[in-house]
Each structure stands twice: as structure tokens, then as C-alpha cells.
């Protein structure tokens, strides 16, 4: 039986077999444990900034006899990775997009030098994450979207590519791969968002002080979403 929620299961599915993974902000370390126990990967680091979850995960990893394959390390962001760990894949899940970008921006060149793949699952602020990836030479090669506990979650997988292509505004907003897959979960999310944008524009028109910039931004979003749906 899996320990993983539907959200973490979707992150798990994106990890390539045989890679060496650092899961940053691992909390309970469920993702590395599942990846190791199912034989998908040979080695993982579970990085965690908070002492409590880190000690609990360490105890669990020892209890399950996985200490030789999972290193549970206390530290801020990618500071838990050393060059000799040969980590090629970093996963960061269950945080806001701002925090994910902040963690990635604070990584040194040495910490990122072997990293070829980033698998990111922001709870909010997905466009920010896509901007960070493109600006730092990571090409988005896969995306997934799912709904769990009344929240839409998106997962973005990107690989290092020195000649990465710029995205359109609509692609930053909705996700280049998600737009082409156009799954039921994607259509549902954007239909709901579209209704929200339309209501917001109507309310802004009725406001005492009309914010033309905000209205035109919202109308731009409406146009992008209507074109895709």
C-alpha cells in the first residue's frame, strides 16, 4: 500500500528510473521512501529545514532499514546536496511558488552542477515557477494536473537545456504541456477560473474607483483562457 497522496503519486510518476534524487522540504520523506522501496531509484537525499520532521523521518528510515539508500539531512534548500552525492534530480513539492523559486535561486552553482532534472509541485504561483525555469535554462518537458481535497495541483518537470525557448504569456499562465494535453482536470480548473475572472471584471466595473490596468490584465487572461478552452 502506498504512503503517497494522489498529489505526491503524480510527482513520483515523473521521476526517471535509476536517477539520484534530492527531495527538498521532504517533511515525512514519503516520496524518497516510496521511490526506493519500489526500486525506481537507487539513492535519495531527504532534505528538511525543520528539526522535528527531519528527526522523525530519520527514525522511520532507520526502522525500515533504508539508511544505506536514503540520507535524511537537516538544511536549508539545496545546501543539503554535496557535489560528490551526484544528485541529478531535485524534487520540491507542497510549497508555494515563491518559496520554491527562492530555494532554487539560493542554490550555488556547485549544488546545481550535476542537476539535470527539476520536478516541482507548487501549491500556488505556478507561472512564477515556469518563469524561473525558463530564465535559468530549464526546458519544461512534462506537466500534470490533478484535483485533490478541492485543490488543483500542478506538477512541472524540466530539464537543463542551454538553448531553452521563451514561452508565451498564455503558456506561462496555463502551462505549455498542460495546454496541449488539455485533460479533464485542466479544463475544469480553467472553466472555474474563467468564471472567476469574469465576475471579478464585472465587480471592478462597478467599483467606485475603476482600475483600468487591473481590468485590462484580467481581460487578457479571459482571452487566453477562452482561446485555449
Stretch in the footprint of ligand SAM (CB under 6 A) among 24-32, 107-115, 168-176, 215-223? 24-32
Among 93, 100, 101, 225, binds ligand SAM (CB under 6 A): 93
- For residue 140, the number of C-alpha atoms closer than 13 Å in the C-beta half-sphere is 29
24 counts as binding ligand SAM under rule CB under 6 A: yes
124 binds ligand SAM (CB under 6 A): no
Query: For residues 157 and 21, is the Cβ–Cβ distance under 8 A?
Result: no
Is the CB of 49 or the CB of 66 nearer to ligand SAM? Answer: 49
Which residues have a Cβ under 8 Å from the Cβ of 103 and sit 6 or more positions away? Answer: 24, 25, 76, 77, 78, 92, 95
The sign of the torsion formed by the CA atoms of 15, 96, 50, 77 equals: positive
> Does residue 32 touch ligand SAM according to CB under 6 A?
no
Minimum CB distance to ligand SAM smaller for 8 or for 115: 8
Number of residues binding to ligand SAM, judged by CB under 6 A: 17
User: What is the footprint of ligand SAM within residues 193-222 (CB under 6 A)?
Assistant: none
Residues 6+ apart with CB under 8 A from 116: 88, 89, 159, 160
Question: Least distance in Å: CB of 43 to ligand SAM?
Answer: 18
Which of 95, 115, 158, 159 contacts ligand SAM by CB under 6 A? 95
145 binds ligand SAM (CB under 6 A): no
Give the DSSP per-residue string, 26-95: -TT-HHHHHHHHTTS-SEEEEEESSHHHHHHHHHHHHHTT-TTTEEEEE-SGGGG--GGG---EEEEEEE
Minimal distance, residue 93 CB to ligand SAM, in Å: 3
Residues of the shown chain interacting with ligand SAM in the complex, contacts defined by CB under 6 A: 8, 24-27, 47-50, 53, 76-77, 93-95, 99, 103
Amino acid at each position: 500500500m502506498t504512503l503517497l497522496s494522489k498529489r505526491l503519486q503524480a510527482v513520483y510518476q515523473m521521476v526517471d528510473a535509476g536517477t539520484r534524487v534530492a527531495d527538498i522540504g521532504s517533511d515525512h520523506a514519503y516520496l524518497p521512501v516510496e521511490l526506493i522501496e519500489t526500486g525506481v531509484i537507487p539513492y535519495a537525499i531527504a532534505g528538511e529545514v525543520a528539526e522535528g520532521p527531519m528527526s522523525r523521518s530519520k527514525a522511520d528510515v532507520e526502522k525500515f532499514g533504508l539508511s544505506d539508500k536514503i540520507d535524511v539531512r537537516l538544511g536549508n534548500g539545496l545546501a543539503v546536496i554535496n557535489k560528490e552525492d551526484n544528485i541529478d534530480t531535485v524534487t520540491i513539492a507542497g510549497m508555494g511558488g515563491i518559496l520554491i523559486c527562492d530555494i532554487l535561486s539560493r542554490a550555488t552553482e556547485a549544488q546545481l552542477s550535476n542537476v539535470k532534472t527539476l520536478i516541482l509541485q507548487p501549491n500556488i504561483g505556478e507561472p512564477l515557477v515556469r518563469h524561473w525555469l525558463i530564465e535559468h535554462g530549464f526546458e519544461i518537458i512534462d506537466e500534470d494536473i490533478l484535483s485533490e481535497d478541492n485543490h488543483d495541483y500542478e506538477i512541472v518537470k524540466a530539464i537543463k537545456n542551454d538553448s531553452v525557448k521563451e514561452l508565451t504569456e498564455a503558456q506561462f499562465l496555463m502551462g505549455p504541456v498542460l495546454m496541449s494535453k488539455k485533460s479533464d482536470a485542466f479544463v475544469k480548473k480553467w472553466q472555474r477560473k474563467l468564471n472567476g475572472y469574469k465576475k471579478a471584471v464585472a465587480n471592478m466595473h462597478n467599483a467606485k474607483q475603476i482600475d483600468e490596468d487591473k481590468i485590462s490584465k484580467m481581460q487578457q487572461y479571459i482571452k487566453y483562457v477562452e482561446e485555449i478552452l
